[in-house]
Structure 1
Amino acid sequence: MVSNRYHGTRQQRAPSHVINAGPGAMKLGGKSRDVDSFVDQLKEEGENVVSGPLAAPGTKIAPITPQIMNTELVHLRQEERLNVRVGRDGGLQNFELHGLVTLHISDEKWGRIRVQVENRDTRGIQLQTHPNVDKELFRAHGQIGLKVPTKPFPLNTDVGVLKWRFQAQDETALPISINCWPSENGEGGCDVNIEYELEQADLELNDVQINIPLSIGCNPIVSECDGQYTHEARRNTLVWSLPVIDASTKSGSMEFSAPSSTPADFFPLHISFTSKTPYAKLKVSEVLLVEDESPVKYSVETVFFTDNYEVV
């Protein structure tokens, strides 16, 4: 028998965005030499700086369900992407999480601001602010502000201001685990049982897909399935789909038989999901004007998704 750990999802639920508000005003110069050099420095450091609202700064965009979101003139995007490799007999071979907060300001009035970040994570996540951000301000007060507070943040540009990285060696770090048990049935094929379990109860995973490879020409016979499944014959793949997995649907299973197969045929499994719940316990809680510390109306978009998640 072969065991695996992996992740999944359940019934569709409306995605949740965090939007906080508060009045305020301030003046920001147009696209000055300082702003240009700030953006140029970001590009030199490998940040993907894109003009236009909601442009994602990451290397891979999460396949999020289309939605309508009212974004404010000060908008932040908190993005996390996950790379995981788990052994088929258990054991975490790789776990790496990369996070990035980008700031997008659409009105020069709100250029000189500070962003308050709450960090309630105790797992040793490594945080790093952009070189133009005041590191002492962030260390002492958890605020993201420029080293020279009289300068504005760039306008109409997604600017990466905070990033983080987290690596783990223990399977308890997984957002969701999957156990896959293929066993020979004595008739030249296999009976396969797959189970998922949500390991982080505070997460809600959306659009979960577990892609199970099949031997060429295999027509699986599914006898039990939580959620839905699709046999993609051209890809020789059985796709197990779960719209939502959360604390109320933290476990589920699928059973099927596969003629003309061996246990090794069902690996590697590839899993994907998106989430509006961040993995790291980081949260933007307030935006303030530098001038008088009055609150500024802002919006936050949060997305956590898989870059590559496989059971090998």
Structure 2
Amino acid sequence: MVLIAAAVCTKNGKVILSRQFVEMTKARIEGLLAAFPKLMTAGKQHTYVETDSVRYVYQPMEKLYMLLITTKASNILEDLETLRIFSKVIPEYSHSLDEKEIGENAFSLIFAFDEIVALGYRESVNLAQIKTFVEMDSHEEKVYQAVRQTQEREARQKMREKAKELQRQRMEASKRGGPSLSGMGGRSGGFSADSFGSSGVSSSSGSSSANIGITSIDVDTKSKAAASKPTSRNALKLGGKSKDVDSFVDQLKSEGEKIANLAPAAPAGSSSAAASASAVAKAAISADIHKESVHLKIEDKLVVRLGRDGGVQQFENSGLLTLRIADEAYGRILLKLSPNYIQGLQLQTHPNVDKELFKSRTTIGLKNLGKPFPLNTDVGVLKWRFVSQDESAIPLTINCWPSDNGEGGCDVNIEYELEAQQLELQDVSFTIPLPMNVQPTVAEYDGTYNYNARKHVIQWLIPVIDSANKSGSMEFSCSASIPGDFFPLQVSFVSKTTYAGVVAQEVVQVESEAAVKYSSESILFVEKYEIV
């Protein structure tokens, strides 16, 4: 048989998916597919229909047709057998046989079609083999993804370090009584997305052309001087090859993302981009920890949902303490925790942990002290949860105040304040949605900001928020907007200090009670933090 094309179409003749297997013009394929509904005979059921040049073999599938177009010289029995295996493949990759589901899984179906037919001739494969071939992993792809993630991590780490340095310089300048660097950055011009490849400096922060898609505003004049200097490309190199890095960065820039090793600003994006930045920061913090034979990991997670007019709609803090032992000599240990965690915290130990020992002495040990902890395995020994409707529990308060400016637009004022001053928040990102095709005019701001025209958001970035830098504000205006356009506002950050206050005091051996050297890492991150 010679199979010309395979297609999935509606009973009205609308083509959802089509794959051709021989050389033929697009116009010819479209003509053949368009002719199929006109050849259907009302009131009669067939499995095929022929014209002077081709044969259509089809099978109804609820509201759809699985259609094969073959030559008239092909064996009709082989055509029907091929049609049967095509019809079996569709439900494997599309849970419901409707137009939307088929469209969402189009590429998986095309890959499966290619395993059934090659150059117009059917391959001798069954359904299980097709699934295996389609799902096979590519070693080259895994290597490329690993290299790409490493390069992104190194670039973002360099940007964070530069941002922290600029933040320290600004704080030192304010202590000396000099002019505010944030004020200078807010009133003067900044870098635009296209200026890195040319002169390096743009005369206005709000005059970027629409085809650029993103505008980056830096924090002070020192960053401008740094941008005008040639910078080494080693921060984005791995193994001495930069070709893949350049193509990857160019691709991101063409999609509207900002990847720069000169400015401290992170890429602009939606809430998913903010969550991705938090994940990168988590990995960077974890990578800096030197791990001893006994290593503790404390992860604290926040889920916060606040009303735009005040009030807590949801506040949940949850966490997990894991223990990893790399040396058999330290398998039988006791872990003593500080009792100074927040009031109202609900704690739950692992079933193999002695609950009475924990309740009386805040110490984690196995029920059977003669049994060691597992080796080279992350063992979760304690988890916790804290839920509150009290506004005093919120670690970072945000006030977003859009007001009608009387000209059909809005003036937006945003301010934040750190309430939990024991925390040091890093890589803080406020993502504010904007009306479509409306560019904001930013008046004043602390930190830096990015405007992403493709995603219709403005991302306000603060490198560090702590007790010495606990508040900040931003002001911008938008034409053709209403107050509701700027919600929900998304926030993301990480911190090396946990919100719950779960901290290890010491680790000792069971028999001798001798102190054991251990390492620990703590991370507080945001799963969801939004103002709606």
Regarding TM over 0.5, the answer is yes
1:207 corresponds to: 427
In 1, are the aligned partners of 2:342 and 2:500 still within 8 Å (CA)? no
Q: Distance in 2 between matches of 1:79 and 1:68?
A: 16
- The 3 A distance-change label for structure 1 pair 208 and 122 is closer
2:281 corresponds to: 64
More helix by share: 2
Q: Are 2:507 and 1:287 aligned? A: yes
Is the partner of 1:64 in helix, strand or coil? Answer: helix
Q: Are 2:405 and 1:189 aligned? A: no
Is the partner of 2:281 in helix, strand or coil? Answer: coil
More strand by share: 1
Q: Which amino acid aligns with 2:450?
A: T
1:223 corresponds to: 443
Q: Are 2:328 and 1:105 aligned? A: no
Q: Distance in 2 between matches of 1:169 and 1:245?
A: 24
Select the structure of larger CA radius of gyration: 2
Deviations 1:166-225 (A, max 9, x none): 001111101100001101111111100000000111111000000000011110011101
In 2, are the aligned partners of 1:117 and 1:282 still within 8 Å (CA)? yes
2:164 corresponds to: 12
Is the partner of 1:247 in helix, strand or coil? Answer: coil
In the alignment, which of 338, 341, 344 is matched to residue 118 of structure 1?
338
Matches within 5 A, 1:169-184: 169-184=389-404
Q: Distance in 1 between matches of 2:300 and 2:346?
A: 13
2:370 corresponds to: 150
Q: Which amino acid aligns with 2:295?
A: H
Number of equivalences: 256
Is the partner of 1:95 in helix, strand or coil? Answer: strand
In 2, are the aligned partners of 1:128 and 1:163 still within 8 Å (CA)? yes
Q: CA deviation at 1:98?
A: 0.5
Q: Which amino acid aligns with 1:291?
A: E
2:5 corresponds to: none
Flag as ranges the 4+ runs of structure 1 deviating above 4 A: none
In the alignment, which of 462, 473, 488 is matched to residue 253 of structure 1?
473
In 2, are the aligned partners of 1:176 and 1:197 still within 8 Å (CA)? yes
2:359 corresponds to: 139
Q: Sequence identity of aligned pairs in percent?
A: 56
1:74 corresponds to: 294
1:275 corresponds to: 495
Gaps of 5+ in 1: 1-10, 14-59
Higher relative contact order (CA 8 A, sep 6+): 1
In the alignment, which of 493, 502, 518 is matched to residue 298 of structure 1?
518
1:242 corresponds to: 462
Q: Distance in 1 between matches of 2:437 and 2:405?
A: 18
Relative to the length of structure 2, the TM-score reads 0.47
In 1, are the aligned partners of 2:428 and 2:493 still within 8 Å (CA)? yes
- The 3 A distance-change label for structure 1 pair 279 and 122 is closer
Gaps of 5+ in 2: 1-162, 166-275
In 1, are the aligned partners of 2:396 and 2:420 still within 8 Å (CA)? yes
Q: Distance in 2 between matches of 1:119 and 1:77?
A: 17
RMSD of aligned alpha carbons = 1.4
Q: CA deviation at 1:122?
A: 4.3
Q: Which amino acid aligns with 2:324?
A: H
Q: Distance in 1 between matches of 2:423 and 2:279?
A: 17
1:94 corresponds to: 314
Q: CA deviation at 1:123?
A: 2.0
Q: Distance in 2 between matches of 1:306 and 1:132?
A: 30
Q: Which amino acid aligns with 2:374?
A: P
Relative to the length of structure 1, the TM-score reads 0.80
Deviations 1:87-116 (A, max 9, x none): 010000000000110001111111111101
